[in-house]
Amino acid sequence: MRAALRARTVDAMYVIVIHQFQDPQTAFARGERLVMNEGAPPGVRGLQFYPATDGSTAACLWESDSVEAIQAYVDSTLGDSSVNTCFEVDSEQAFAEQPLGLRTPAAIRG
């Protein structure tokens, strides 16, 4: 099975991050570390990234053992370039389908 299709651990959860970019150019440059999962805590993995066309905000989907781990990782990586709001996904209510035309970065493909 491909690394990108690894089964979630029992304690893992999905976490959404809403980024409100204060300095989009800096946030996107720093955010490359997030895309590549550089320096991510154990068990933390970025899955999806959806930036607004105007670059002012973005939403991301992560997998982690805790919301706090994602919050700390994203805040320390982006610093003052972004205000980040994190919350656990209600997996009983959520749904998803692979959107067409979106690329899969090398870090996720494994």
pTM score above 0.75 = yes
Kindly indicate the confidence band of residue 17, based on its pLDDT and cuts at 50, 70 and 90: very high
Region for residue 55 given its phi and psi (left: phi exceeds 0; alpha: psi -120 to 50; beta: otherwise): left
Question: Between these two residues, 7 and 103, which has the higher pLDDT value?
Answer: 103
Sheet holding 45-51, edge to edge: 45-51, 57-64, 13-21, 82-88
Mean pLDDT of 61-75: 97
Mean pLDDT of 30-55: 94
Question: Between these two residues, 78 and 109, which has the higher pLDDT value?
Answer: 78
The CATH class of the 10-89 domain is alpha beta
What is the rounded distance in angstroms from the CA atom of residue 62 to the CA atom of residue 80?
21
Mean pLDDT of 49-67: 96
Domain coordinates in residue numbering, the chain: 10-89
Mean pLDDT of 37-41: 95
pLDDT at position 97: 76
